[in-house]
Structure 1
């Protein structure tokens, strides 16, 4: 049991993990970010663009990006996905009128992940078809799988 715990601990210890916090405007993303950071509730104003804070928990560094949720900013969420290990989707369950919009945005994120997975698979297939595997160019195509928990 101790060996398993040590292995798991070594995966996360002294590493930096990128986390993005997304959700519709006024869902509470910034409040959650500063709750993590300062362990207290702070009054916030709408986020234009993004906020970023580093949170350290037992030698594990989390670089947390709070991304604005206004309709005009949602189309830019996919620019933050690169190298992201965790996504926190904040849902305001009281705002029942906009739950459908939240669902659409979630599906948009999942579709983006699927497109990246397909592009990565096609790239690997092309590389496999090459006769010379010694001189592979760096494509810069990298995908980090994200799990969505409810």
Structure 2
């Protein structure tokens, strides 16, 4: 009887699982965000040549985060990871305004894909700690984010290197998922 009770209590304590796709152009800070969320050392980060996957526990939720490289040659393979995505996190380098148009084009391509239909989108406006960083409202205007319809979206200021704004974004992700489940 003791084992049965233990198994029932374990089942009752199960976390909710989310499959998170972390995308953005190269050098946007995706891997730094992933490592910061996982409370790992962020001093030496190399460009992602393929993908990283980590399980991050947050607020009784288990987030399986797929961080896919953002180099132009890798982006064509992003679609291989769309299946069963709960939330898309798209990372923008706020200090690289010259590439905002390219980042916007890639985001629009993602949003048009049927496999990501209705998937909520969190846009991290990363590198806000840098002097030349554009404010999230400026990025929203440049990328015309208000045209996003038929899905929940949020732009969140953050600095992955300082760990600022990351948990606010994840809180929004969890809130969207809980709303969707109801």
Distance 2:89 2:64 in 1: 13
TM-score, with normalisation over the residues of structure 2?
Answer: 0.56
Report what 1:16 is aligned to: 17
Report what 1:146 is aligned to: 119
Report what 2:55 is aligned to: 54
Report what 2:71 is aligned to: 70
Unaligned runs of 5+ in 1: 1-12, 117-142
Unaligned runs of 5+ in 2: 1-13, 122-153, 156-182
1:42 matches 2:43: yes
Question: Is the partner of 2:44 in helix, strand or coil?
Answer: coil
Distance 2:61 2:43 in 1: 24
1:104 matches 2:105: yes
TM-score, with normalisation over the residues of structure 1?
Answer: 0.68
CA contact (8 A) 1:34 1:42 kept: no
CA contact (8 A) 1:18 1:63 kept: yes
Residue correspondence of structure 1 range 118-137 to structure 2 within 5 A: none
1:31 matches 2:32: yes
Cα distance, 1:79 vs structure 2: 1.1
CA deviation vs aligned residue, 1:25-63 (integer Å, no higher than 9, x gap): 010000000000016533200101100000112431110
Q: How many residues align?
A: 110
Distance 1:103 1:96 in 2: 11
Task: Flag the structure with higher strand content.
Answer: 2
- Tell which structure's C-alpha radius of gyration is larger: 1
Question: In angstroms, what is the RMSD of aligned CA positions?
Answer: 1.7
CA contact (8 A) 2:23 2:90 kept: yes
Distance 1:53 1:17 in 2: 12
Question: Is the partner of 2:113 in helix, strand or coil?
Answer: helix
* Larger RCO (alpha carbons 8 Å, 6+ apart): 1
Which consecutive aligned stretches of 4+ in structure 1 deviate over 4 angstroms post-superposition? none
